[in-house]
Amino acid sequence: MPDQPDAGDRGADPREPGSAFAESWTAEAIVSAAPTAAVSAVAYAELDSRPVAEAVGDATLGVWDLESGQPLATSQHPDPGAPPPLEASLLHVAATSSGGIPVALTGDVGGRVQAWDLRTGEALGKPLISFGSRVKAVTAAWDIAPGLVLFSQGAGATTSVYSTPVPDGGVQVWDIAERRSLRFLSHGGYTDSITLGQHAGRALAAAAVTYANRPLIDPMDSESRVIAWDVSSGEQLGEALEPEKYDYVDAVAIGSVAGRATVVGVTSGGLRVWDPVEGRAIGHVPCPGKIQAVSWGRFGERPVVVAAGGDKRAGGRNWLRMWDTSDWRLIGETSTGYGVLSACAPTPDGHVIIPFGKSVKVLRYVGGS
């Protein structure tokens, strides 16, 4: 990969649907009867060697067969017949396996991280942990670090919001089967997002972090960093990575390109690419519009990065874009309508799972420029 990747503006107008993706299926996600309810997060998993799609919204976890779109499991809490309390609303979903059991992980507004049996939709005991404020981020990966889940608490009433750094700011790594913390990846700030990836056979984690002096008085009085770790050892990879001055990193993805660990961060002007080991920026990939989510994926032997976005306030169409990380060329682009795509989950066989209002939509990559 060149030291200064430049995808240019090769894509079509993001307001126009592209031809690189075709719809495979759309399924209703029974999230709630509330008018404002919507799918908040999606993930890819495998169930008995079969690929499946996961989604959460309000207090509901849903699982579908990825090929047919048929529902496999649905779990509604606390009572399927009653409106869920606000603290039960699910914000995050991820998947892994533990002791031969396919496991879904969720994080909610009330600060709970819960493990679920993907086969039945039943909770695996009590929550792994209950924070004093909402869960900020949860991540796991089906084929990376099985049995582990990484999560972090968002800043809340129980966190000192006036001191920097935050003494207990960091990412927790838990063993699901043993229900205990293995290590704490400290960064001393406020976690904005976390991600899990793989390089040279090692599981790597990265977090977008904000360091704020007075976040309640002056939100602009803060700085943004990206930090990466080796998950097994807990050792930080190089120095903290910095965006351009006065810019912030909202979401991150981590993977491997041409034998080099690579971090991609969402900034105001597109995607920023770093080498976390050397602690330096590699370059910038322009991406018009507001990026809401970014994910690292692999279609066969091709590593790709997928981003989703749109700006509902601007009244424009949403969009989904995909880049080949070997040269950061835009190879796919489409739109599913107006509003915002807030999440995306690429699968190994060339599909991308996205939220679509109260539904889950699966797109199939059919080729691009």
Q: What pLDDT, in 10s, does the model give residues 155-196?
A: 543 344 444 455 568 999 999 999 999 999 999 888 999 999
* Dist. CA 57–CA 343, nearest whole Å: 12
Range in 220-224, 252-256, 292-296, 362-366 the model is least confident about: 220-224
DSSP 8-38: TT-SPPTTS--SSEEEEEEEE----SSTT--
Q: What percent of the chain has pLDDT over 90?
A: 60
- Give the whole-angstrom CA distance, residue 268 versus residue 291: 8
CATH no. for 21-365? 2.130.10.10
**Residue with structure tokens 């507001």?**
290
In angstroms, the CA 75 to CA 77 distance is: 7
Q: What is the pLDDT of residue 72?
A: 93
306 phi and psi, to 5 degrees?
A: -115, 135
Section 86-106 average pLDDT: 89
Mean pLDDT of the chain: 85
CA distance 242 to 245: 8
CA 117 from centre of chain:
21
Q: d(Cα 14, Cα 33) in Å, to the nearest integer?
A: 32
8 Å CB contact between 256 and 273? no
Q: In what order do the strands lie in the sheet with 260-267?
A: 252-257, 260-267, 270-275, 280-286
- Burial string for 259-294 (b: 16+ CB within 10 Å, else e) reads eebbbbbbbeebbbbbbbbeeebbbbbebebbbbbb
Q: Contact at 8 Å (CB) between 343 and 41?
A: yes
Q: Report DSSP letters for 177-236, one per residue.
A: TTTEEEEEEE-SSEEEEEEEEEETTEEEEEEEEEEESSTTT-TTSEEEEEEEEETTT--B
Confidence category of residue 360, pLDDT binned at 50, 70, 90: very high
Chain center to CA of 260: 21
Omega within 30 of 0 (cis) for the link into 219: no
Given a cut of 50, is residue 199 above it in pLDDT? yes
State whether the Cα torsion 148-184-251-254 is positive or negative. Answer: negative
The count of other CB atoms within 10 Å of the CB of residue 148 is: 23
How do residues 203-217 score in pLDDT, each as one tens digit? 999 999 988 765 555
pTM of the prediction?
0.89
pLDDT band at 139 (very low <50, low <70, confident <90, very high): very high
